[in-house]
Amino acid sequence: MSASNDPIADLISGRFPDARGRFGPFGGRYVPETLIPALERLEQGVREHLHTSAFQQELALELSSWAGRPTALTFAGRLSALWGADIWLKREDLAHTGAHKINNAMGQALLARRLGAKRIVAETGAGQHGVASAAACARLGLPCTVYMGAVDMERQAPNVYRMRLMGATVVPVTSGDRTLRSAIDEAMRDWVSDPLETYYLLGSALGPHPYPYLVRELQSVIGREARAQILERRGTLPDAVIACVGGGSNSIGAFHPFVADRAVELIGIEAGGRGMGLGDNSATLSCGRPGVLHGTYSMLLQDENGQIQETHSVSAGLDYPGVGPEHALLAATGRSRYETASDAEALAAVRALCECEGILPALESAHALAGARRWAASHAGRTVLVCLSGRGDKDMPTLQQTLLAPPHGT
Ligand X SMILES: *Cc1c(COP(=O)(O)O)cnc(C)c1O
Following CA atoms 171, 97, 238, 360 in sequence, which dihedral angle do they give, to the nearest 10 degrees? -100
Nearer to ligand X, 208 or 390 (CB): 390
- Does 283 interact with ligand X (rule: CB under 6 A)? no
Question: Counting every residue, how long is the chain?
Answer: 410
**3-state secondary structure labels for all residues of the chain:** CCCCCCHHHHHHCCCCCCCCCEECCEECCCCCHHHHHHHHHHHHHHHHHCCCHHHHHHHHHHHHHCCCCCCCEEECHHHHHHHCCEEEEEEHHHCHHHECHHHHHHHHHHHHHHCCCCEEEEEECCCHHHHHHHHHHHHHCCCEEEEEEHHHHHHCHHHHHHHHHCCCEEEEECCCCCCHHHHHHHHHHHHHHCCCCEEEECCCCCCCCCHHHHHHHHHCHHHHHHHHHHHHHHCCCCCEEEEECCCCHHHHHHHHHHCCCCCCEEEEEEEEECCCCCCCCCCHHHHCEEEEECCEEEEECECCCCCECCCCCCCHHHCCCECCHHHHHHHHHCCEEEEEEEHHHHHHHHHHHHHHHCCCECHHHHHHHHHHHHHHHCCCCCEEEEEECEECHHHHHHHHHHCCCCCCCC
Of 43, 62, 92, 123, which is the active-site residue? 123
**In the bound complex, what is the minimum distance in angstroms from residue 34's beta carbon to ligand X?**
26
- Does 365 interact with ligand X (rule: CB under 6 A)? yes
Residues 244 and 318: their CA atoms lie apart, in Å, by: 8
* 286 catalytic per annotation: no
* 154 catalytic per annotation: no
Of the residues 42, 99, 287, 352, which one makes contact with ligand X according to CB under 6 A? 99
- Does 153 interact with ligand X (rule: CB under 6 A)? no
Contact positions with ligand X (CB under 6 A) in 209-268: 244-251
Contact positions with ligand X (CB under 6 A) in 56-85: none
Nearer to ligand X, 99 or 259 (CB): 99
Nearer to ligand X, 107 or 390 (CB): 390
- Does 296 interact with ligand X (rule: CB under 6 A)? no
- Does 128 interact with ligand X (rule: CB under 6 A)? yes
Of 62, 101, 182, 357, which is the active-site residue? 101
Nearer to ligand X, 7 or 300 (CB): 300
Contact positions with ligand X (CB under 6 A) in 164-193: none
**In the bound complex, what is the minimum distance in angstroms from residue 274's beta carbon to ligand X?**
19
The rounded Cα 54 to chain-centroid distance in angstroms is 26
Nearer to ligand X, 24 or 317 (CB): 317
Q: Which residue number is nearest to ligand X in terms of Cβ?
A: 390
**In the bound complex, what is the minimum distance in angstroms from residue 362's beta carbon to ligand X?**
4
| Binding segment toward ligand X, per CB under 6 A, in 176-184, 333-341, 347-355, 362-370 | 362-370
Nearer to ligand X, 43 or 123 (CB): 123
Residues 394 and 159: their CA atoms lie apart, in Å, by: 8
* 101 catalytic per annotation: yes
**In the bound complex, what is the minimum distance in angstroms from residue 206's beta carbon to ligand X?**
8
- Does 281 interact with ligand X (rule: CB under 6 A)? no
Of the residues 70, 149, 295, 390, which one makes contact with ligand X according to CB under 6 A? 390
**In the bound complex, what is the minimum distance in angstroms from residue 53's beta carbon to ligand X?**
28
CB 271, CB 340: distance < 8 Å: yes
Nearer to ligand X, 363 or 384 (CB): 363
Of 357, 365, 389, 394, which is the active-site residue? 389
Of the residues 362, 366, 376, 384, which one makes contact with ligand X according to CB under 6 A? 362
Nearer to ligand X, 99 or 111 (CB): 99
Which of 26, 21, 57 is CA-nearest to residue 40? Answer: 21
- Does 149 interact with ligand X (rule: CB under 6 A)? no
**In the bound complex, what is the minimum distance in angstroms from residue 283's beta carbon to ligand X?**
13
- Residues labelled as active-site residues: 101, 123, 389
Residues engaged in binding ligand X (CB under 6 A): 99, 101, 128, 204, 244-251, 317-318, 362, 364-365, 389-390
